[in-house]
Structure 1
Amino acid sequence: MTQAQTFSPSTVAPLQPEFHRHRLVELDWLRVLVFGLLILYHTGMLYAEGWDWHYKSTYTSSLLTNIMLWSNQWRMSLLFLISGAATSFLIAKQPAGQFIRGRIPLLLLPLLFGMLVVVVPQVYVEAHSKGLINSPNYWHFWYLYLDQTSAEFAPHKTLGQLHLTWNHLWFLPYILAYSLIFRAIYPLLNSRVCAPVWQWLSKTLSIRVVILAPIALFYLIGWWLYDKYPTTHNFVQDWYNHARSFLCFAMGFALVRLRLLWNQLASLRWYLLPGALLTYAYALFAFNGGSLGDSDLADEINGVIWSANGWLWIVAIIAWAQYWFRFSNPLLKYLNRGVYCFYILHQTLIIVIAYFVVPHKLGSVLEPLLIICAVAVSCVVLFELIKRLPIIRVLFGIQHR
């Protein structure tokens, strides 16, 4: 078989042309809801007791920390799975050149603009609240941040000899890299060589394997990489985070192509939810000092349960989304268009608004409510403004209709 025969359009696997013709509305809902949860989570980081962050309120709560532990184990993994599924649809619909021309500006331009402009207020607030850099004038601080030779930032290098940071925007370069990897190998994945593999997976792969195999892989990734390469969001050294995130991206890419398996999750929702709740209960037990013992076996069981907690919540949430969210409406379409812009803006808004609100000590209830409402309104108002500016909207990932 020649290379031309292997990778030509005539050799496309029979399963591939059909899956992308039917939009999975539950993925649109999940994308909006999980990004919304991310905004609440980052607001909660102001108040989570024992968890360091860029800026902290004077009010902290251990109860809130325990609640936030629930999504801490799976929220980003689920976003990577959703991104993998979206990439799977796009690659199937678009030629390679069109995919790359669309994907790189959509992810890279907001990342670069974010590092140079959007993230800077976060750095300013953190530097002053923690006494790292003494430069009270924001515009002078911004100049020092952009000037890679500034002595004030000499002890705070983040990327080699640079002191630029992407903070919450670290998700973008990871997604860009994974998308380009799958675009590069897609001719093989969609060739006659892999057609029997897709056929076999679709017909013989058990839903139990879809549920149990990722737990085992999560566990092996943690066993191999967690201690050596803890999560830092340093792209070239973040191997534990890469392994786990890339696995979830790949799972999303594959599962939406195996529609029979994907659709079976909804029927298991009442089995998946109790399992997820049990693993979260154990996570709370372990997080608050509980232990199964000091033996090696106890350590391994602990690792398996934590791994199960991360994956069972993902499949349980997908299963319930398939059951609840099989419809679209104008609100979903609006939020789906704006959620990327909200993601880019939200953490800067949280930190800046908190920086001005926290010193007034409004109370442990009024303060977070005020910050959440202010962030939500600011996200919508800025989105409405930015989407009307032809050049600026590209820098915030807002695509033309």
Structure 2
Amino acid sequence: APHKTPKPCNVLPTWNHLWYVVYLWVYTMALIGVLTLWPTCADWLGRKLAVALAGPWLLILPCLLLAAWRLVLFPAFPSTHALFGDWYNHADHATAFLIGFLLAKQEGIWRNVERQRWVALMAAAACFSAFILVRAGLFAPSSTLRWFAASAYGCYQWLAIAAVLGFARRHLTADSPARRYLTDAIFPYYIVHQTAIIVIAHQLHDSGLRAGIEAAIVILGTALTCVATYEVVRRIAWLRPLFGLRAVPRTVARMEQHQPA
């Protein structure tokens, strides 16, 4: 049989999962520009948005908006993570970015999220299940079914976020050494995790191990790689900024602030 050249799964160089950082940087720069021209707009818009999302509308309106992006933009602009021309992802992610920024200091919204955490969780589970069942091909394809699946996906996005925030507000408000440690560690973990997954999975290729054992090795190996990388990076001054850490550790900066003049 003629030899077939394997199709590459990736084309380098590329930013892979770090597209998220690029998009977040663009949104942040745009927001800084707006706030420079209109410094009070964030507080004003935040109060208006908090009123609009009072009561059940907290779960309903964002669901409708994200579902609309999925229905209208996704068919014409499939996800590329290429920054330019990626209009569905920009609408989707910028919406979440702005909602979070504008509502972060609105205490009434946080109480509302906490109250509706169980509703959000159950609705998110229902929407995700519906989307997966359609994607699994258990039903005859139709335009109505595609519309339903797209709507379920858009709703699930917001409902899952609301559920996570609601339960966090209820159970994880206290500070702790673990929370402070992970607050700094999470971004280096994010940077490293995909590379660790790919390298470990590649080494396990054709190993003959059972799927469950391979999965356990990949998960454990990725977790250990993330922890080890962070422990090394946070101790090397010139590496810290490259992994999103402060140039000076927070504890050192705090000690310097409290030293007498």
> Is this a same-fold pair by TM over 0.5?
yes
Match of 1:266 among 98, 102, 114: 114
Query: Which digits, 9 at most, give the CA deviation of each residue in 1:36-87, with x for residues without a partner?
Result: xxxxxxxxxxxxxxxxxxxxxxxxxxxxxxxxxxxxxxxxxxxxxxxxxxxx
Q: Any idea what the Cα deviations from partners look like across 1:300-342, whole Å, max 9, x if unmatched?
A: 4443223222221111111111111111211121121111111
Measure how far apart 1:278 and its partner are: 1.5
The one of 353, 368, 391 aligned to 2:200:
353
Residue 299 of structure 1, CA deviation: 4.7
Q: Which residue of 1 aligns with 2:26?
A: 177
Letter in 1 for 2:230: F
State which drifts further: 297-306 or 384-393.
297-306
- Equivalent-residue separation in structure 2 for 1:240 and 1:331 (angstroms): 36
Give yes or no for contact 1:361–1:367 (8 Å, CA) kept in 2: no
Q: Residue in 1 aligned with 2:129? A: 281
Deviations 1:1-54 (A, max 9, x none): xxxxxxxxxxxxxxxxxxxxxxxxxxxxxxxxxxxxxxxxxxxxxxxxxxxxxx
After superposing the two structures, state which structure 1 stretch, 243-252 or 352-361, moved more.
352-361
Rate the CA distance shift 1:327–1:317 in 2: closer, same or farther, 3 A.
same
Note if contact 2:47-2:106 (Cα within 8 Å) is conserved in structure 1. no
Pick one of 215, 219, 224 that aligns with 2:72: 224
1:239 aligns with 2:87: yes
Question: Contact 1:219/1:303 (CA < 8 Å) preserved in 2?
Answer: yes
Partner SS for 1:236:
coil
Equivalent in the alignment of 1:384: 231
TM-score, normalised to structure 1's length?
A: 0.55
Deviations 1:81-131 (A, max 9, x none): xxxxxxxxxxxxxxxxxxxxxxxxxxxxxxxxxxxxxxxxxxxxxxxx946
Tell me if the contact between 1:255 and 1:261 (Cα under 8 Å) persists in the aligned partners.
yes
Matches of 1:201 and 1:231, distance apart in 2: 28
- The alignment of Structure 1 onto Structure 2 pairs a total of residues equal to 244
Give the letter aligned to residue 89 of structure 2: N
Shift of 1:272: 1.8
Aligned mate of 1:373, from 212, 220, 225: 220
RMSD: 2.6
Contact 2:71 2:151 in 1 (8 A): no
Given candidates 61, 69, 85, the residue that maps to 1:213 is 61
Taking a change above 3 Å as real, the CA distance of residues 376 and 237 of structure 1, as seen in their structure-2 partners, is: same
1:256 and 2:131 aligned: no
3-state SS in 1 of match to 2:231? helix
In structure 2, distance between residues paired with 1:220 and 1:177: 23
Aligned with 1:361: secondary structure? Answer: coil
- In 2, Cα distance between the equivalents of 1:166 and 1:188? 32
- Aligned positions of 1:148-159 closer than 5 A: none
Once residues 292 and 212 of structure 1 are traced to their aligned partners in structure 2, the CA distance between those partners, rounded to angstroms, is 29
Over 6 Å off, 4+ runs: none
Q: How does 1:4-43 map to 2 (within 5 A)?
A: none
Deviations 1:235-276 (A, max 9, x none): 112111111000000110111132212221111122222212
Match of 2:13 among 156, 159, 164: 164
Give 1:203 shift. 5.0
| Distance in 2 of aligned mates of 1:205 and 1:331 | 33
In the superposition, relative to structure 1, how do residues 203 and 247 fare at CA in structure 2: closer, same or farther (>3 Å)? closer
Amino acid paired to 2:20: F
Question: What letter corresponds to residue 228 of structure 1 in structure 2?
Answer: A
Q: CA, structure 1 residues 209+222, in 2 after alignment: closer, same or farther (shift >3 Å)? A: same
Amino acid at match of 2:110: W
What code does the residue aligned with 1:346 have? H
Question: Higher relative contact order at CA 8 Å, sep ≥6: structure 1 or structure 2?
Answer: 1
The answer (yes or no) to whether the contact 2:45–2:102 under 8 Å persists in 1 is no
Question: TM-score of the superposition, structure 2-length normalised?
Answer: 0.83
Q: Is the 8 A contact 1:221 1:243 kept in 2?
A: yes
CA distance in 2, matches of 1:369, 1:394: 32
Deviation of residue 169 (structure 1)? 0.8
- Check conservation: 2:35, 2:42, Cα contact below 8 A: no
Separation in structure 1 between the aligned mates of residue 197 and residue 79 of structure 2, nearest angstrom: 23
User: Which AA in structure 2 matches 1:243?
Assistant: A
